A and B are shown apart, each in its own frame.
Chain A
Amino acid sequence: MSAIDLVIGPQHPALHEPERFVFKVEGETVVDVEPRIGYVHRGIEKALENRDYVTGLYLAERVCGICNVAHSLCFVQAMEDICGIEPPERAKYLRVVAHELNRIHSHLLLLGVAGELLGFMTLFMLIWRDREDVMDLIERLTGNRVNSAFNVVGGVRRDLDPKLAEDLKKVLERLKAKVKRYREVFAEDPTIRARTVGVGLLSRSRAIDLCAVGPTCRASGVKADVREYRPYAAYEDLDFKLVWYEEGDVWARLMARVDETIEAIELVERALEKMPSGPVRVKAPRTIPRGEGFSVVEAPRGDLNYHVYGKGDVKPDRVKIRTPTYANIPAVCEMFKGGYIADIPATLVSIDPCFACTDRVTLVDMEKGTRRTVSVTELLRRR
């Protein structure tokens, strides 16, 4: 049978960013994939060279709205690395709280979207309803629901008042019970298992070779989490428990995220309990000296790193950002191979992509030169 090119993307209103894949398919089986990314490349690395560090921080946060705390945290840590500034202890704990709240809402968002893509609309709505509680907590802690601008060089911008700390504990306790219920659903529901178990396999050795990151590699048996292997902020004191699965399929990647959500809730609880008192910020210079800084944090989707060249000025000479979805693209291409067309949406959503692609699909028959477009809903119905 001759291979047919199946073009998926670049428009996708359901997930967050445009993206295109050209799949070579034989019958219903994917044999090869060619990714095309860059539709929303905004030149932020270049733009950061022309901004001072203070305003650049706000821009860096806008690389990704969903994991904005990871971006600002990583950028300020890289700057603190050059300057040799150590933030106060309380600030480190507050950074953990904001970072983990960010992770909780990001994972809940993905788990909801996964429910929707698998045809489980109730789960999507329930999870997104509960996600709102976390968004409200983030707003009360940082002043904003999404882009929080919480981290600054030398500490954090706002302190946590005792009333909010109490409310955080209350809301998170309620949320934990709900997430545990969702864990049962993801673990046992026959519909979810039928669509995810054994789908989109990635072996441990391929995950290592392809430098997969985050829950994507941890679901393939790689015990690598920045919070564990290179602790930053206050993680060293918080008794972090690494979540990992060895199945390497879509199911394991979703389960890893459910478990990480529970672990993130517990991390916030432990951080609130052990949080020392004291200042939340030290004064930092506006000028960053000549030198190189590097920082890596565990963003919700995997390790995120910033490499900053300072030139003794208010502006950096070069800022390199490596985002986790970018790192996972070679791995997701591997997962598609050998799978069915109908499994493309589930496989793609399992890496929690920060781009989009699967809603509009064009089928191209290379021999006849025909082209037809189908929607993802139709693609799902074709099963």
Chain B
Amino acid sequence: MKEEEVVEALKGVLGPSLVESSVVKSGRVRLVVEPGAHRRAIEALKSKFGEVHLFSIVGADLRDRLELTYNLWLYEPKVHVMLKTSLPLDQAEVETVTDLIPGSILYEREVYEMLGVRFRGHPNLKRLFLPEDWPEGVYPLRKDIKLEGVL
């Protein structure tokens, strides 16, 4: 099975940094890695399975933590990899992947402005969509944010 092949390949490379791995359904794999290990995971996917397409970077506020999901498509085995990592709410910092996947440049800026995740090493970590007079430190997709007075 191609899905298991992807999981096994990542298990070999990441070892204990791979917290959780499962085949969700045909053609989709869910991998949870420790913060920082996502870069090694993407490098391994690129070197083992060739061309990788980044569907999206999804940030979600799960109230006790932030969850980042890198939705990756592997063209060759035709598998969708949901690569997940969790970040603490008060110190949301993670390494950039813009050098591995240049197409992620805007996606990281969006997650930064909407959820306040700082991407270390991003070449131009500025706001993307929000207006220029939007106050600093107000991240609209955080659950605890009050938008009264801002809008």
Closest residue of B by beta carbon distance from A320: B58
CB of B106 within 8 A of CB of A329, answer yes
Q: Which residues of A contact B125 (CB under 8 A)?
A: none
Asked whether A14 is an interface residue with its Cβ less than 8 Å from the other chain, the reply is: no
Interface size of A by Cβ–Cβ distance < 8 Å? 30
Q: Which residues of B contact A208 (CB under 8 A)?
A: 51, 53
Alpha-carbon separation in the docked complex, A209 to B97 (Å):
12
Q: Select A307's contact among B27, B71, B128, beta carbons within 8 Å.
A: B71
Q: Which of A208, A224, A296 has the most CB of B within 10 A?
A: A208
CB of A307 within 8 A of CB of B58, answer yes
Asked whether B141 is an interface residue with its Cβ less than 8 Å from the other chain, the reply is: yes
Asked whether B61 is an interface residue with its Cβ less than 8 Å from the other chain, the reply is: yes
Q: Which residues of B contact A327 (CB under 8 A)?
A: 103
Q: Which of B13-21, B74-82, B86-94 contacts A (4 or more CB under 8 A)?
A: B74-82
CB of B60 within 8 A of CB of A317, answer yes
Closest residue of B by beta carbon distance from A43: B140
Alpha-carbon separation in the docked complex, A229 to B110 (Å):
27
Q: Which residues of B contact A209 (CB under 8 A)?
A: 101-103
Closest residue of A by beta carbon distance from B72: A211
Q: How many A-B residue pairs have CB under 8 A?
A: 73
Name B's interface SS. Answer: mixed
Alpha-carbon separation in the docked complex, A138 to B78 (Å):
33
Given A224-B75, A296-B55, A305-B71, also A46-B140 (CB < 8 A): yes
In A306-360, the 8 Å CB interface with B consists of: 307, 309, 317-318, 320, 322, 326-327, 329-331
Closest residue of A by beta carbon distance from B98: A330
Asked whether A212 is an interface residue with its Cβ less than 8 Å from the other chain, the reply is: yes
CB of A318 within 8 A of CB of B61, answer yes
Alpha-carbon separation in the docked complex, A211 to B73 (Å):
10
Alpha-carbon separation in the docked complex, A43 to B71 (Å):
22
Q: Which residues of B contact A307 (CB under 8 A)?
A: 56, 58, 69, 71
Asked whether A174 is an interface residue with its Cβ less than 8 Å from the other chain, the reply is: no
CB of B69 within 8 A of CB of A330, answer no
Q: Select B60's contact among A210, A230, A318, beta carbons within 8 Å.
A: A318
In A208-237, the 8 Å CB interface with B consists of: 208-212, 224, 229-230
Chain A nearest CB, measured from B60 CB (Å): 4
CB of A294 within 8 A of CB of B80, answer yes
Chain B nearest CB, measured from A215 CB (Å): 15
Closest residue of A by beta carbon distance from B131: A38
CB of A46 within 8 A of CB of B60, answer no
CB of A303 within 8 A of CB of B140, answer no
Q: Which residues of A contact B101 (CB under 8 A)?
A: 209, 211
Asked whether A135 is an interface residue with its Cβ less than 8 Å from the other chain, the reply is: no
- Pairs across A and B, CB under 8 Å, 16 listed: A46-B141, A208-B51, A208-B53, A210-B102, A211-B102, A212-B103, A224-B53, A229-B73, A230-B27, A230-B73, A292-B82, A296-B80, A322-B56, A326-B106, A330-B102, A330-B105
Q: What is the interface of chain B, defined by CB distance below 8 A to chain A?
A: 27-28, 51, 53-56, 58-62, 69, 71, 73, 75, 78, 80, 82, 101-107, 114, 128-131, 140-141
